[in-house]
Amino acid sequence: MKIVVHIEDAQQWQNALAQAFPDAQITTSDAPPPARANADYLAVWKPSESLLREQTRLKAIINLGAGVDYLLQTPGLPDDVPVVKLRDAGMGELMADYVRYGVLHFQRSFDRYLAQQPKAHWLTHEVPDKADWPVGILGLGAIGTHVAKALSGDGFPVLGWSRSPKQIDGVSCYHGEEGLADVLRQAQTLVTLLPDTAATRGLINAERLALLPDGASLINPGRGTLLDHDALLSALGDSGHLRGALLDVFAEEPLPEFSPLWQHPKVIVTPHMSAPTPLNEAIDQVIDTLRAFEAGEPVATVNRQAGY
Q: Which residues are catalytic?
A: 223, 272
Q: How far is the CB of 88 from ligand GLV (least distance, A)?
A: 10
Would strands 135-138 and 189-192 be described as parallel, antiparallel, or unpaired?
parallel
Q: Find out whether 57 and 40 touch, Cβ atoms under 8 Å.
A: yes
> With respect to ligand GLV, which residue has the nearer C-beta, 193 or 209?
193
Q: Find out whether 229 and 202 touch, Cβ atoms under 8 Å.
A: no
Q: How far is the CB of 140 from ligand GLV (least distance, A)?
A: 16
> With respect to ligand GLV, which residue has the nearer C-beta, 65 or 144?
65
Q: Find out whether 159 and 172 touch, Cβ atoms under 8 Å.
A: yes
Task: Give the end-to-end CA distance of the chain in Å, rounded to a whole number.
Answer: 27
Span of 5-13, 60-68, 164-172, 294-302 interacting with ligand GLV by CB under 6 A: 60-68
66 binds ligand GLV (CB under 6 A): yes
Residues in contact with ligand GLV, counted by CB under 6 A, come to a total of: 4
Q: How far is the CB of 61 from ligand GLV (least distance, A)?
A: 14
Q: How far is the CB of 13 from ligand GLV (least distance, A)?
A: 14
157 binds ligand GLV (CB under 6 A): no
224 binds ligand GLV (CB under 6 A): no
Residues β-bridged to residue 219:
191, 246
Q: Find out whether 240 and 217 touch, Cβ atoms under 8 Å.
A: no
> With respect to ligand GLV, which residue has the nearer C-beta, 16 or 68?
68
> With respect to ligand GLV, which residue has the nearer C-beta, 65 or 134?
65
Give φ, ψ of 242 to 5 degrees.
-105, 145
141 binds ligand GLV (CB under 6 A): no
Q: Which residue is nearest to ligand GLV (CB)?
A: 65
Binders in 233-292 for ligand GLV, by CB under 6 A? 277
Q: Choose, by CB under 6 A, the member of 67, 139, 144, 307 that binds ligand GLV.
A: 67
Span of 65-73, 134-142, 163-171, 182-190 interacting with ligand GLV by CB under 6 A: 65-73
> With respect to ligand GLV, which residue has the nearer C-beta, 91 or 184?
91
Q: What is the DSSP string of 114-164?
A: HHHGGGT---------GGG--EEEE--SHHHHHHHHHHHHTT--EEEEESS
In angstroms, rounded to a whole number, what is the distance separating the alpha carbons of residues 231 and 195?
Answer: 20
65 binds ligand GLV (CB under 6 A): yes
- Residue count of the chain, please give it: 308
> With respect to ligand GLV, which residue has the nearer C-beta, 107 or 274?
274
In angstroms, rounded to a whole number, what is the distance separating the alpha carbons of residues 269 and 264?
Answer: 9
> With respect to ligand GLV, which residue has the nearer C-beta, 63 or 217?
63
Query: Sheet holding 189-192: strands in order across?
Result: 171-175, 158-162, 135-138, 189-192, 216-220, 242-247, 267-269
Binders in 88-117 for ligand GLV, by CB under 6 A? none
Return the biggest CA–CA distance within the chain. 66
Burial zone of 21 (CB within 10 Å; 0-12 exposed, 13-18 middle, 19+ buried): middle
Q: How far is the CB of 67 from ligand GLV (least distance, A)?
A: 3
Binders in 184-213 for ligand GLV, by CB under 6 A? none
The binding site for ligand GLV (CB under 6 A) comprises 65-67, 277
